[in-house]
Amino acid sequence: MSVNQSIKPITLEEKEHIYIGGCDTVGLAKKYGTPLYVIDEATLRGICQDYKKAFKNYTNIKMMYASKALCTSAIAKILASEDFGFDTVSAGEIYTVFKAGADMSKVLFNGNNKTRREIELALDYKVGRFSVDNFYEAELLNKIAAEKGIKAEILLRITPGIECHTHDYIQTGQIDSKFGFDLTQVDEIITLIQEKYTNLVLRGLHAHIGSQIFETQCYYDEVEILVKEISRIKEKFGLVLDEMNIGGGLGVKYTDSDNPPEVEALASVVTDAMHKYAVEIPTIYIEPGRSIISTSGVTLYTVGSSKQVSNGRKYVAVDGGMADNPRPSMYQAEYTAQVANKPTSENLEKVTIAGRFCESGDILINEIELPKLESGDILCVYNTGAYNYSMASNYNRVEKPAMVLVNNSHSDIIVYRETLDDLISKDNIPDRLR
């Protein structure tokens, strides 16, 4: 079983309290406060090893971590030490991995509306590849590269017309998408690159079919489409493309009902399709994000108030919610949780875990069976490493939580908790209002 198939971090132990990475989570809550993001280093490195082992027989493989899932300096440092490159989508992500000491030749700059400032920064930092998303961007990138007297190496992002069975908000491979060129536009952009955009060097194709994917057939279909398109381009334009980025998207296990495929299954499908359809085996880029970081993360909350609705559900409120984890309110994401200070206690009641923010939709978990909850209990919500901190906000002017890294019974702050002064640090009162 690969790490993405587990709800809990691989180091978790149930003693008198829940321990992760050898650290007492109740002790972590007391020391650092709550809400608190906790990342288990062993779990993170474990899934990296799963990916490298699964693709070990495919020699031309480049692992690229999808930074949007969680991008902090320490996380980037760990991924770089595991020989992962980085899929980035903003100046902020590029700057973060650069300052963390990443090899910038292993960085891809992705996104559907890159600004001039971001493109200039990416070129100055010598990112290895640009994934060109549209005609406007191709023209702009060529212009800026020409101004700097350099050539930008690119992949073309295409929409292969594949729809996966996942939430509409995280599907990206279908034709009706804001991302990429559809297959009818490929010839036009290649002609422009060959005849006009001479500061662009086309190296391959890029597609991303979605996120939280539980089936492998769609990856097989994606590889088939990309390989056939590369072959067609060679025949029509005499252009040899030797790189193919198949994106990421492998699912993880949030609840007992989830059954994502293991990494080995993904690797098997991809390599089988490649060996069947490719005449010359290209370099494959793969961009896991959620499946790399999600399982390693938990969020700790302190239980506060409760409310019993007459002849209805019981609400139990915690000191966080939609600002530190917007996924349930955005697209009804589901989570599993335990009481960190009562891990072996019998589940006695069904409750709804509510957040502390002023929105009726601020519900973290609908109807979960837990031991009887009391004010001051510590709730441990699993699989929160991906898209929690990275999508967090200051809604209701609440400070963003801290993040700690645990390993071998040791904990380190990797993101400091915001302060009230941090919240107003960018505010300004004009002189006329003073």
Residue 178 has a CB neighbour count (10 Å cut-off) of 10
The answer to whether 165 and 211 have CB atoms below 8 angstroms apart is no
For residues 254 and 276, what is the distance between their CA atoms, to the nearest angstrom? 34
* C-alpha angle 22-350-360 in degrees, rounded to nearest 5: 95
Tokens describing residue 178: 């804001």
- For this structure, is 358 an active site residue? yes
DSSP 250: B
- For residue 257, the Cα-to-chain-centroid distance in whole angstroms is 22
Looking at the DSSP assignment, which residues form a beta bridge with residue 36?
300, 402
Alpha helices in 14-125 (DSSP H): 25-32, 41-54, 73-81, 91-99, 116-124
Catalytic residue among 71, 164, 358, 380: 358
For residues 294 and 388, what is the distance between their CA atoms, to the nearest angstrom? 9
- Exposed (0-12), middle (13-18) or buried (19+): which is 273, by Cβ within 10 Å? buried
The answer to whether 108 and 129 have CB atoms below 8 angstroms apart is yes
- Exposed (0-12), middle (13-18) or buried (19+): which is 103, by Cβ within 10 Å? middle
Phi, psi of 119 (to 5 degrees): -65, -45
Tokens describing residue 337: 């949780």
* C-alpha angle 70-74-80 in degrees, rounded to nearest 5: 85
Active site residues: 358
